[in-house]
Each structure stands twice: as structure tokens, then as C-alpha cells.
Amino acid sequence: MKAPRIPTGTHGPASGLAPLPFTLLCATVLCVLAAHAPHMPVWYTTVLAAIVAARWWQRRRQRGRVSAWLRVALLVAVPAAVVAVYGTPFGREPGAAIVCGLLAVKLLESERPRDARMAVGFACFILMSALLFDQALAFTIIVGLMLLPALATLRALEPGLPESGWLPAFRTGAVLLGASLPAALLGFLLIPRLATPLWGAPGNGVARTGMTDRMAPGDLHSLLTDNAVAMRIGFDGAPPPENQRYFRGMVLWSFDGRAWVPGAAARRPWPPVPVGVHDPLTHYDVTLLPSHRHWMFALDVPVDAPEDAVMGPDHTLSSSKPIDQTLHYRVASATDYQLAPERLDPRIRAAALELPAGFDPGAHALAERWRTAAGGDDAAIVRDALALFRDGDFVYDLDAPPLDRNSVDDFLFNTKTGFCEHYASAFTFLMRAAGIPARVVVGYQGGYWNAFAHYLLIRQSDAHAWSEVWLAGRGWVRVDPTAAVSRIILADTGGAAGDVGGGNRSWWMPWQNRLDVINRWWGQTVVGFDALSQGRLFRPFGVEHATAQMLGIGLAIAVFLTLGFGALLASLRPHHKPRDALATAQQRLQHRLARIGIVRGTAEGPRDFFSRSVAALPDSASTLRTLSTEYLVLRYACAEPPPEQTRAFARRVRNFHPRHVLK
């Protein structure tokens, strides 16, 4: 009889990494790369994925570590490539790129279970760090599910899993992941939180969402095609009409011939200009997502500044520090107002009329003709400019052609194609050239009103630019030249279409807007669960503010009750000896053999009994030899019979039906 075969997963002289756990480990690394792919260069992610695939293919053909020289070269190449791309090894993006690269390199030397376990632990840490970049509900669920390959890898490294045990490995991982959720919830609620974020790694200095303080033709294109959420607004009463949903962000005063920027006028410490309110104020709450900038947004026009915010002379709001976390603030705004109607400060007038020399002579000449025809009627010049955009064959299109040095002239007389920033820039330039104080305002316009949850959803694709002109007796008046364009080409971008034509009307967008209420709940309840929210956790029990000691006591009580409940369940179970499934299957086999005359002797060992059975049943000799080998290995070669192989042995015993005995 052949020597018993040691089952897969048991520890023997050669404890190399089997194909199944190595394949699961490769899947784990690929999940980590997929989670971090949105904030890593495409080529970098592709190279790392190719390294994983090449390593998997190489190990299929021949086991063994990759050459040490190659590993050292990759170890040096990873941080060098990251520094070349980001300019620094510090920060969230560079740090994530480095650790992802090191994880792929670790795979090149993983040949033993110990290496695989270390790689899985490292992979789980990197996978969880992806939540530093995105904490949306859908992404959090995806990251949680990506833990399954890691848990399946750890299960495959344990003794007793057959070579084709993909399903058992993932089933065990899913059970463990589900069982950990109550403990995770308990820790989330009761482990004391820091007042400031634990992860203070600096970013790369570039806003990941939102607009910048520079507006040139084409700069807003990336926003108008991005349907990421910018802010959510809840009104005390009914929302304002759609034509009044302009949310003021920045005022751009200075033009250098190409781009509009805030300029010196926005930085001077002038007090806010007076505002005359003609209707009741609109009160509302804003939840602004991180933009890594200082400016805040308010319904045009805000009359006061929220806490920790400053109101500029042009009634713009700015935070005292960069908005790196979700910001909640309350504002009151007037939608029917007069802004500085009586007089305009000479310094503000000069800033609102300044134009660079040597640019756009055609626009200057056109504005002078309008001034000559209108005389002192500034409102007539405004009407002439709007009529030009309405009747002059202008087109709204996100795929606008690039403009030359004289960008305003090129747009007005040649391309005649653009979107909101083109029209706001050209209109403001024409007004200044005609002697009318004007400025550009950048913010958001429109939005989706969720009647079920009663809040206004503003996406990045709702970004918009418009103009303000100062007219005697009326003050600063909002003029939206983009709205005058009659021909619109809608862009098939998947955006939310807040800016005119800023996105498509795809079938998915309405559903995405409706389902945003789930993301709003997630952001307020989970992502927004900070130290202040945790301090209010025990208010239903009469505790106004829970201290760290109270939270610790609550956590200890919860753990004690959980353990006590588990002990109670264990005590209620019957106290009989646990059933030995392997012995039960062996007894069934002996019973079936006894029915045809092969009875095991009182002092006969299992090896001798199986040998005698093989001799007595030549037609079933092959099956009996297999059962004999499996039983002897499971009973005597393992400290504890692996459950999967025990069940397989019992299944083969049930299917064994001996018929004849050799006489």
C-alpha cells in the first residue's frame, strides 16, 4: 500500500506557498491598486498591475523568488518615480503611490506562508488608507468588500483547504467580515475620538474639487463635466425660484488679457458695501464639501457672515482657514436687493474699469461705437451686448476652440463658441471698454431640488460665471450673458447640466440625484460623526456631554454584556461530547461492510481491517484503498481532521455500496 499523502495545507518539511493562496494574494494586491487608482497616474497603476500579473504567470511556470537584483532595482525605482511625478515623497497622494509600489515589490519575494501573511497585513492597511481620499458610502462599501480576497488568502493559508477551495475560502472570509460589523459599530460609537483628524499628512496643495481663483477660457471645463457633489443646502422654507439660484463664490476684478483673477481690489480691507433688502431674507444651512480653498458660497447676495468667516467688500464669504473637511454653516441672504445703489467709491470704480493695454482692439472699438450711440444710457449698452450674444450667431458649446492672444476679439469676431466663462469674460470686458464699471462673479447656479429630503443639491457641473455691472441708481446689477445665447450644444459628459448645457440629460442622472439623499445621510451621520457628535451620544440618558472616561466605561459595559450573552448561549447548549464526524463516517463504512459479511474484529486495527476488506472485495478494491488512505491520514497525520476533507470522506462513504464478497 502507498504511503499516506499529507493533505493540502498541513505543515510538512516543505512549507512553500501553495498556488491557491498565492493567487488569492495577487487578487488582494490588485484590489488595493484598484482602490487607489483614482488618485494615482494611469501609467503608474498600469505598470504595478503588470508586475502583479507577470509575477503570477512566472510562479505558475516555476516557483521561486524573483532575482534579487530586479527586486532592488524596483525598490529604488518606486520612490524615484513618485518623486518625479509629485515632486515630493510626502503627502497623501505620494505616500499612497509609494506604499502601493512597495506592496507590488513584496509580491516578488512572497514564497512562504509567513511572507503571504505579512503581505496581507500590509495590503489591508493600504486598502483602508484609500478612505483618506474618498469617504462616500458607495466607495466605503467597495473598500469593505475588497477585504474579502485578503481574508480568503488567510483562510487558504490554514491547513485543510483543498486546492480548489475558492468557495470555502471566500465563504469563511465573508462570515468573518459579517461577524466583525457589530464590533466595528461598537468601536465607531464608543472609542474616544480626537478633536482634530489623526491623519495630518499634507496634500499636494491643489484643490481636488471646486474652482480656483483664476478664470481663463477653458478653465471651468473640468468642473462643468464633473458631477461630483459640491454642496447641499437646506432652506428654512421653500427654495428660491430657479432664476434666483445664483450662489456667489468669488469676485474677479483684474484682467491681464487672458485670465481674470481677484486682484488687489479683493484683498483690500474695505468694509462690505451697503445692501438694500427689498424682500424677506432667505435663511438656509450649507454643507460644503472639502475644496482645500478659503472661499465659501452663499445665495446671492449674503447679508451677514457665518461664524469663523469673513465678508469681503463685494459680499463674498471666505473661511479663516482652508476648507479641508466638510463645513457646515448658516447664512441669511437677500434675493431682491440693491448693492451699493447710491454711489460707487472712486477706488472701486477705478478697479472695475481697469483693462490691460495692447489687448483686443476690436472689442474696444465696438464698445466705443455703443457708447457713442447710447450717450449716457449705460442700460442701453448692456442691452446692446446681450443682443449681440442673442442675435450674433453665438453658440454655447463646452468643446470650444482655443483662443489666440487677443482672446476677447477672437471669441467675439471669429470663433463665437464657448461657455459661461467666455461670455462672462467678453461681456465684462465690453462693459469696461464702454466706461461701465463691471466685474466677473464665479460660483454655482441652478441645482437639483430634492423634494423628498427638502434640500438643494449643487454639483460641480453647476459651476457658473456671470457678470455684475454698476448702474447709477441701481447699484451692482447681476447680468448673466450666457443666458442670452439662443443656440446651445449639449455636451454628452454625464454632468448635472447646471451651467447651460453643462451636461447631458442621461437616464442615470435623475436617479443619481434622487439617491443622493443616501449619501447626504451617510455624510451627516457617519462621516460627520466627530468628537462633538460623540460627546452628545448619551444625551438620551440625561448626560449632556460624554467625557472620554464615560465613553470608556460605556465601551467596557458593552463588551461585558456581549461576552456575557455569548457565555449564556454557550451554557444553554447540550453538554454532551462533541460529535466526531470522522468516527461517524468510519462506523457507517464498517456497518455497510458487516452487512455483507466483513466484520471488524475487536482487536483489529483500521489498517488491517481495510487490507482484509480490499482482499475480500476485488471489485471495490480501488475505492477501499482510497478510503483507507484518507481515513488513516485524517485520523493519524493531522492534529485535528480538517472539516472540508472530513466532509469529503463522509460523502464518499455514503456513495459506497459494496455488493459481493469473494468466497
What is 89-123 written as a DSSP string? S-SHHHHHHHHHHHHHHHHTT--SHHHHHHHHHHH
Listed in sequence order, the DSSP H helices in 460-530 are 508-522
Residues pairing with 478 in the sheet: 468
Calpha distance 114→157 (Å, rounded): 9
Closest CA to 429 of 356, 375, 344: 356
The residue with cell 455497510 is 592
Residues 6+ apart with CB under 8 A from 578: none
Residue 480 appears among annotated catalytic residues: yes
CB-based contact 243:231 (threshold 8 Å): no
Vertex 119: Cα angle to 113 and 125 (nearest 5):
140
Given this model, what pLDDT does residue 496 score?
Answer: 39
Rounded CA-CA distance 316/297 in Å is 8
C-alpha grid cell for residue 135? Answer: 469617504
Among the listed residues 316, 315, 344, 337, the one whose alpha carbon sits nearest the alpha carbon of residue 470? 344
Query: Which pLDDT score, from 0 to 100, does residue 253 have?
Result: 92
| 420 in active site | yes
Residue 409 falls in the annotated catalytic set: no
Determine the pLDDT at residue 536: 73
Residue-level pLDDT at 202: 43
Asked if residue 412 lies in contact with residue 405, where contact means CB atoms within 8 angstroms, the answer is no
Strands (E), 562-651: none
Across the chain, mean pLDDT equals: 82
Q: Provide the grid cell at 519.
A: 449619501
Q: Which of 409, 410, 480, 499 is flagged as catalytic?
A: 480
Distances (CA, A) of 647 to 133, 293, 583, 604, 644: 45, 61, 12, 25, 5
Task: Evaluate whether 398 touches 225 at the Cβ level (below 8 Å).
Answer: yes
Beta strands 298-299 and 246-252: pairing type?
A: antiparallel
Residues of the chain with pLDDT under 70: 1-15, 63-64, 159-165, 193-211, 218-225, 489-514, 524, 527-528, 530, 532, 573-579, 660-663
Task: Give the separation between CA 51 and CA 114, rounded to whole angstroms.
Answer: 21
For residue 286, give the C-alpha cell: 450649507
Q: Which of 26, 31, 100, 420 is catalytic?
A: 420
Give the model's pLDDT for residue 127.
Answer: 92
Phi-psi region at 494: left, alpha or beta (left = phi > 0; alpha = psi -120 to 50): left
E strand or H helix that includes residue 222 = helix 221-224
Residues 6+ apart with CB under 8 A from 465: 215, 220, 420, 421, 424, 425, 440, 441, 442, 482
Helices and strands: H and E segment counts in the chain? 22, 20
Q: In angstroms, how far is CA 445 from the centroid of its own chain?
A: 25
pLDDT digits over 159-200, tens only? Answer: 666 655 678 788 888 888 888 888 888 777 777 766 554 444
Residue 92: count other Cβ atoms within 10 Å of its Cβ: 17
pLDDT value, residue 388: 94
